[in-house]
Amino acid sequence: MNISIFSYKQNIKVDFTERSTRIKLYAKVNSIMSKGQETKQRLLDSAQQLMYSRSYSDVGVQEICKDAKVQKGSFYHFFSSKSALTVEVLEQLKMQMIESILLPAFAKDLTPSRRFERFIEYAYQHQVQIKEQYGYVLGCPMGNIALEMSTQDEEIRKKVETLFESIFYVFVDVLDDAKKAGEIDQDADTSELAQVCLAYGEGVLLVAKTKNDPEVVKQLLPYVSKLIGFKGQNI
């Protein structure tokens, strides 16, 4: 139950709060992690796993502790509340998402439009794997929590909002590249297009989860190129 959904490297911090997508790496070796930090990490991993496969409300602190083999006293030693834990889970989720999907997909070895194609393939493969593993398409872990918790927990809502911003900057970066490469209109509003891409991606994952069918991702996500307006392309 503690295998991470994304392949996960410890303690790599990526800063997307600046528009430039410079990456800062604070390399730390796993073995340096103290016993306490390992316990905390187990709690974060269990919580992430359980909440993603079910929901925030359906997973209790007790169950997270049991899964992580940690006592309740320890839980509240590391986290002030379930909500505070969730905010940290979301941060971890963002790092994993950027590292294991966005950065590889949008690496600059291909043309911007090809990067999008690779992104679509990764997103599809990811949902296929999730369905094999859990029996359900789980969609986007951030979108899921956002819709469930936005009206109930302002800290969580804000956190998801900033996560979306981080992803947004990744899209802006590729779209700016596309503009430079002449793949899209010179007067395209890349900032607005990035928001559009994010929204469409979330929507496709929502529908895929509802239908419990990863093929929805494969079928619908390519339409993102229409949204962006890549020149000379028919999906």
Contact residues: a copy of itself, CB under 8 A = 53-58, 134, 136, 138-139, 143-144, 146-152, 157, 160-161, 164, 192, 195-196, 198-204, 206-207, 209-212, 216, 219-220, 223, 226-227, 229
Q: Which is nearer to DNA, 83 or 150 (CB)?
A: 83
Q: Which is nearer to DNA, 38 or 185 (CB)?
A: 38
When binding is defined by CB under 7 A, the residue of 2, 10, 81, 210 that contacts DNA is 81
Distance between start and end Cα atoms, the chain:
39
95 binds DNA (CB under 7 A): no
Site string for DNA, 4-43 (x = CB under 7 A): ------------------------------xxxx-x----
120 burial (CB, 10 Å; 0-12 / 13-18 / 19+) is buried
111 binds, among DNA, a copy of itself, none (CB under 5 to 8 A by kind): none
Q: Which DSSP helix (H) or strand (E) runs through 155?
A: helix 154-180
Task: Give the binding range for DNA (CB under 7 A) out of 3-11, 57-65, 122-130, 175-183.
Answer: 57-65
Beta-carbon contacts of residue 19 (< 8 Å; ≥ 6 apart)? 169, 172
What is d(CA 144, CA 227) in angstroms, rounded to the nearest whole number? 23
**Residue 199 Cβ, how far from a copy of itself at the closest point, in Å?**
4
Q: Please answer whether residues 2 and 42 qualify as being in contact, where contact means their C-beta atoms are separated by less than 8 angstroms.
A: yes
Q: Which is nearer to a copy of itself, 104 or 229 (CB)?
A: 229
What is d(CA 101, CA 158) in angstroms, rounded to the nearest whole number? 23
Here the contacts of 145-149 (C-beta below 8 Å, separation 24 or greater) are: 145/51, 145/56, 145/86, 145/90, 148/55, 148/56, 148/57, 149/56, 149/86
Chain contacts with DNA (rule: CB under 7 A): 34-37, 39, 59-63, 70-74, 76-77, 81-83
